[in-house]
């Protein structure tokens, strides 16, 4: 297991503190939230980008992903809006490349648009940015989220794009809210899992009505089933997205990080032991 955490759990924290926290708590990577209110965002200068990359490299911590907010299935009324979205996708890919990140996270964001139109627009936009992503060695990951929160919905876009630079980011909360079991998500995403899966975003909450983030294992999300669905000894990243930014009253993430990593390690070990006992 390669553990990471999202800076959404420590909003506005300086990069030096993020790096220190990851190293001290045994996390090998960090998902950087790319928003203007954060230290790292697409308007960051080239020297600042190099400095951020160096800080992570010196500590032996990987910048796993740039978590962008581009909505590839959104309605863009007019050429100017369409061009702005294309520019946003381009800038996210360039930022990730400059930071040495392997992934860019994007949202569907289709809202209540007709599904066929939303999917067609997402396919076209992802296909358009794929050559730049390939050139810069970055993969763009569509998160199971909002209008396409299940694996089945995300897979319809990814299968239509059919490009190795595009992949899936499995947010276990949203697939669960969409009524999809972990096994069904795994089956729906198909080849976009395994070697093609960027990473899994794990979290925990009290209920579908109360999404305040909790310590891993303290809520109702089927994390053991997620681990089991990925099969024995899965290779890849597990990123804890603790949404402190949207729930200020939630407990502070830094004090929870060590236990969260230990909980994930235990779940994976238990799944491996069950698999070995059955063979």
Q: How many residues does the chain have?
A: 279
Domains along the sequence of the chain with CATH? 2-278 (3.20.20.150)
Residue 191 above 80 pLDDT? Answer: no
Angle (nearest 5°) at CA 127 between 122 and 133:
115
Query: Cα separation of 93 and 101, whole Å?
Result: 9
Residue 194 above 70 pLDDT? Answer: no
Note the Cα 260 to chain centre separation in Å: 17
Closest CA to 29 of 258, 238, 259, 244: 238
Confidence of residue 1 (pLDDT cuts 50, 70, 90): confident
Helices marked H in 26-78 — which ranges? Answer: 46-59
Cβ neighbourhood burial of 240 (10 Å; 0-12, 13-18, 19+): buried
Residue 230 above 90 pLDDT? Answer: no
Q: What pTM did the predictor assign?
A: 0.96
Residue 197 above 80 pLDDT? Answer: no
At residue 22, the 3 state secondary structure works out as helix
Residue 235: predicted pLDDT: 58
64-94 pLDDT, tens digit per residue, is 999 999 999 999 999 999 999 999 999 999 9
3-51 pLDDT, tens digit per residue, is 999 999 999 999 999 999 999 999 999 999 999 999 999 999 999 999 9
Percent of the chain with pLDDT over 90: 89
Instruction: Express the helix, strand and coil content of the chain in percent, nearest 5 each.
Output: 50, 15, 35
Q: What is the DSSP letter of 145?
A: B
Mean pLDDT across the chain, nearest whole number?
Answer: 94
Query: Cα separation of 79 and 250, whole Å?
Result: 41
Residue 140: predicted pLDDT: 98
149-188 pLDDT, tens digit per residue, is 999 999 999 999 999 999 999 999 999 999 999 999 998 9
β-bridge partners, 148: 145
């Amino acid at each position: 297991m390669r553990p990471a955490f999202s800076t959404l759990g420590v909003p506005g924290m300086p990069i030096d503190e993020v790096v220190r926290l990851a190293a001290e708590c045994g996390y090998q990577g960090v998902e950087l939230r790319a928003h203007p209110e954060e230290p790292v965002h697409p308007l960051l200068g080239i020297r600042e980008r190099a400095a951020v990359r160096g800080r992570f490299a010196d500590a032996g911590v990987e910048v796993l992903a740039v978590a962008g907010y581009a909505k590839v299935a959104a309605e863009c009324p007019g050429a100017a809006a369409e061009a702005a979205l294309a520019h946003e996708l381009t800038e996210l890919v360039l930022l990730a490349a400059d930071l040495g990140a392997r992934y860019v996270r994007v949202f569907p964001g289709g809202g209540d648009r007709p599904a066929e139109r939303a999917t067609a627009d997402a396919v076209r936009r992802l296909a358009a940015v794929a050559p730049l992503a390939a050139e810069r060695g970055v993969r763009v990951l569509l998160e199971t989220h909002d209008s396409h929160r299940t694996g089945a919905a995300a897979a319809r876009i990814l299968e239509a794009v059919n490009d190795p630079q595009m992949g899936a980011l499995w947010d276990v909360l949203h697939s669960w809210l969409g009524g999809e079991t972990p096994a069904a998500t795994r089956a729906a995403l198909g080849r976009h899992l395994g070697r093609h899966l960027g990473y899994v975003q794990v979290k925990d909450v009290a209920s579908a009505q109360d999404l305040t983030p909790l310590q891993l294992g303290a809520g109702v999300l089927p994390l053991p089933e997620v681990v089991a669905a990925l099969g024995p000894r899965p290779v890849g990243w597990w990123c804890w997205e603790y949404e402190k930014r949207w729930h200020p009253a939630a407990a502070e993430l830094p004090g929870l990080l060590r236990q969260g990593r230990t909980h994930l390690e235990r779940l994976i070990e238990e799944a491996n032991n069950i698999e070995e006992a059955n063979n």
